[in-house]
Amino acid sequence: MENRICKLFGIQYPIVQGGMVWCSGWRLASAVSNAGGLGLLGAGSMHPEVLREHIRKCKAATDKPFGVNVPLMYPEIEKVMQILAEEGVKIVFTSAGNPKTWTQWLKEQGMTVVHVVSSSKFARKCEEAGVDAIVAEGFEAGGHNGREETTTMCLIPHVRRATSLPLMAAGGIGTGAGMLAAFALGAEGVQMGTRFALTVESSAHEAFKQLCLSLNEGDTKLLLKKVSPTRLVKGEFAAQVEEAESRGASTEELRELLGKGRAKRGIFEGDLAEGELEIGQIASLFRQEQSVEEVMHELMADFQDGVKRLAQLQ
């Protein structure tokens, strides 16, 4: 396949693996890149020097393009950006912050810059900031989410209308059919987090993966809206959050309940009771842990089958 997203990143398929905390290390990113997509390292859960190590290991594991996802709220953001420049990273996805802050500097270092948005308003700001492409992420997504609670199906056409930049869809997309639907709405590529978080190469704990592979419809919920909207698996910790929110807990109380390291505890260490278990709604479609290569083959076969089915409607 060849379109603006494939050309921009130099990849075979317009499929990007989300840079997820505690899931997206060098093994996952290099596997996705080797399979024809764009793998991303998730800097949000890495200390700066750990990120440097993962960049170097990813370079050794693939000769294909890969990138780094950087949440702009990261506490040591200057160190991280300097490491990206020093290590010659070519593609950076930024999120959770103002794209104007770093886009120009990153582009001056020769990097392709993509920003993740949850509304057409922020898509326009991205274009003004000079980014090369946009990821529009809907309400269905796992982890940290937009406050607008706009679903992907509604968001993509709004963003497509607002900007002419290359556009990727994210949130609730984990199949080739979902990818085809996003294309029908104006996207030119997709970013998938949940589907890749549950692969063999993901660095998430096996207990977390198996829990997510057993979920049914409605087993996740968007919580922590006063702090940072986050989609969580319904369970012991989510119940604590929901109870606190229902009685009107303050932002400070919720931050105290959240504490430090909850996501690591749940996703990376496998504490299913007290950990923060972040995953997207689409997890309920999947029951089997697969390799990245298997997932990519299935995605493209499903996509092509969908194209053929739609062609028969003409």
DSSP class per residue in 5-53: HHHHHT-SSSEEE---TTT--HHHHHHHHHTTSBEEEEGGGS-HHHHHH
Give the separation between CA 35 and CA 13, rounded to whole angstroms: 9
Average pLDDT, the chain: 96
Task: Give pLDDT, residue 87.
Answer: 98
Q: Which pLDDT band holds residue 74 (cuts at 50, 70, 90)?
A: confident
Q: Over the stretch 166-185, which tens digit does the pLDDT of each residue have?
A: 999 999 999 999 999 999 99
What pLDDT shows up at residue 253?
93
Laid out side by side, the sheet with 91-95 consists of: 15-17, 189-192, 167-170, 133-137, 112-117, 91-95, 66-71, 39-42
The rounded distance, in Å, linking the Cα atoms of 15 and 6 is: 9
At 236-266, the pLDDT tens digits run: 999 999 999 999 999 999 999 988 899 999 9
Which tokens sit at 30?
A: 């290099």
| Per-residue pLDDT at 75 | 87
Does residue 309 register a pLDDT over 90? Answer: yes
Pick the closest to residue 246 from 221, 279, 263, 266 (CA basis). Answer: 221
Arithmetic mean of pLDDT, 21-26:
96
**pLDDT at 30 (0 to 100):** 98
Q: How many CB atoms lie within 10 A of CB 104?
A: 12
